Amino acid sequence: MGRFIDHTLLKPEATRAQVLALCEEALRYQVKAVCVNGAWVGLCSERLAGSTVLVAGVVGFPLGAMESAAKASETRLAVAAGAGEVDMVLALGPAKAGEWENVADDIRCVVAAAGGSSVKVILETATLEPLEIAAACLVSGDAGAAFVKTSTGFHSAGGATLEAVSLMRRAVGPALGVKASGGIRTGEAALQMLAAGASRIGTSNTAAMAKWLGGEAGKVGDLLSAQWVASGK
């Protein structure tokens, strides 16, 4: 059941020991990926080598307010260190201004730099209106992203909501993955996000979540057979 979880540690004060513990938990629960800051991608890649657990490195995190060239450079470093996935933050200022071609160009730069690694675009949905969320989803897909993601978990506006996840799924259909992250701390909340349309859950509370989900195996099994979860999208 861990195959839809990105086990996450993005605290700036995270230590080497904590990152290695994250990897051990990822192996224990057989999660889809660990999601870490760029400085830890290499260490995670070494520890998880030979396993099925991917390493996702964040880019432009947590603000997204940097030059596209800087995001591309950060992406190349992450991929070179072993990142199989890249979670980038949307250019929020241009998005709020309706400058969607600039938003698309920013994503394209990261997608190109990522090569064969999948790119997830963090929309920071709590800062966007519904029409802006839908537009950001469409732009992300057109620019080559594999996933759209709700939140960084660092913005004061808030994290993932069922409404945002449902809207994102309706916007992208089966073409892209939808990752719900930001404030998802319980198995019950994860189950609700999956039912709303998420195919990936970002959480730092994987152990407790896995324990709860184990007791809800029937419900989880039904959701895992849903098209967007079964396909990883």
**Residue 149 annotated among the catalytic residues of the structure:** yes
**Residue 179 annotated among the catalytic residues of the structure:** yes
- Considering the candidates 32, 71, 120, 179, report the single residue annotated as catalytic: 179
- Considering the candidates 87, 106, 120, 233, report the single residue annotated as catalytic: 87
CA distance 56 to 173: 23
**Residue 105 annotated among the catalytic residues of the structure:** no
Residues labelled catalytic: 87, 149, 179
